[in-house]
Structures are given as C-alpha cells and as structure tokens.
Amino acid sequence: MIKEHNLSWWKKKADEEFSKYIRNKYADKNGLVKCYTCKHYGTIKTMQNGHCLPRQYLSTRFSDKNCRPQCYACNMLYGGMVVIFLNKLCEEYGEEFRYELEKEKYVITQYTIKDYQEMIEKWKSVDKKEEK
Ligand SMILES: [Zn+2]
C-alpha cells in the first residue's frame, strides 16, 4: 500500500528539493559553492540554502530571488546575515528590490500537495552537478 503523505510532509520535501536546486545552481563545475554572505566556500552537500526573508514567509520561501547558498555559520549562527544578504540582492536586482521583498512578505500564499509535487518535479528536472 502506498503511504499517503500530508501537506507538511510535502512542504518539507519541497524545502529539500529547492535547497538542492539552489545549492546546485550556484555551484561551480567542481561542485564548490561560495557562501553568499561571507568568503567561505563549501561543497554542495555542506552548504545550506539561505533565505533573505525568513522561511516563515511562504510567499518567498521558494523564490529564486530570495534564496542563495550560505554556509552553516552565516545561516544558523549569525541569523542569516540578513543585512549583507539584502544589500547584495539589491546590488543584483536594483535598490527597489528591498521594497519588492517587503511587499511580497504580506502576500497570502497557500500551496496544495499538488502544488508542492509540481514544484518538486520542476526543481528535480534541472540538471545537477555531482555532489561531493
Ligand atoms: Zn558564510
């Protein structure tokens, strides 16, 4: 019998796949990933997916523009280094990006299991580098 998973299981699964996708996206051809907010380099496996706006905001939880690879220290010990994080995103996307994010924060977002499944399939279908 196939076990039916609930919404929170799929959300967790989506976090995992999205994280893999982001860490891969910014990895070089040797599988090395630079932390977005410090000088540290790590492998795809050891780096984490950092969120500029924290994960509690579902509207940007799975947004490419809100997420970059980070080392464990920046992501977990230094509160995500959000000031540097946001400043760097603004260098990439323009100054108005900080207001965009601020607005997106309040967009009510709900995902169904089907939404998560489709998102997961999309990230899975992106070519991945070899994980080390
Ligand atoms: Zn770092």
- Owner of token pair 């540097």: 84
Q: Is residue 2 pLDDT above 70, yes or no?
A: no
Q: How far is the CA of 90 from the centre of ligand 1 (A)?
A: 18
State pLDDT tens for residues 3-59. 789 999 999 999 999 999 999 999 999 999 999 999 999 999 999 999 999 999 999
Q: How far is the CA of 100 from the centre of ligand 1 (A)?
A: 25
Q: How far is the CA of 69 from the centre of ligand 1 (A)?
A: 9
* Boundaries of every domain in the chain: 7-119
Q: How far is the CA of 112 from the centre of ligand 1 (A)?
A: 33
Contact 94, 122 (CB under 8 A): no
Q: How far is the CA of 75 from the centre of ligand 1 (A)?
A: 7
Mean confidence (pLDDT) of the chain: 95
Contact 41, 35 (CB under 8 A): yes
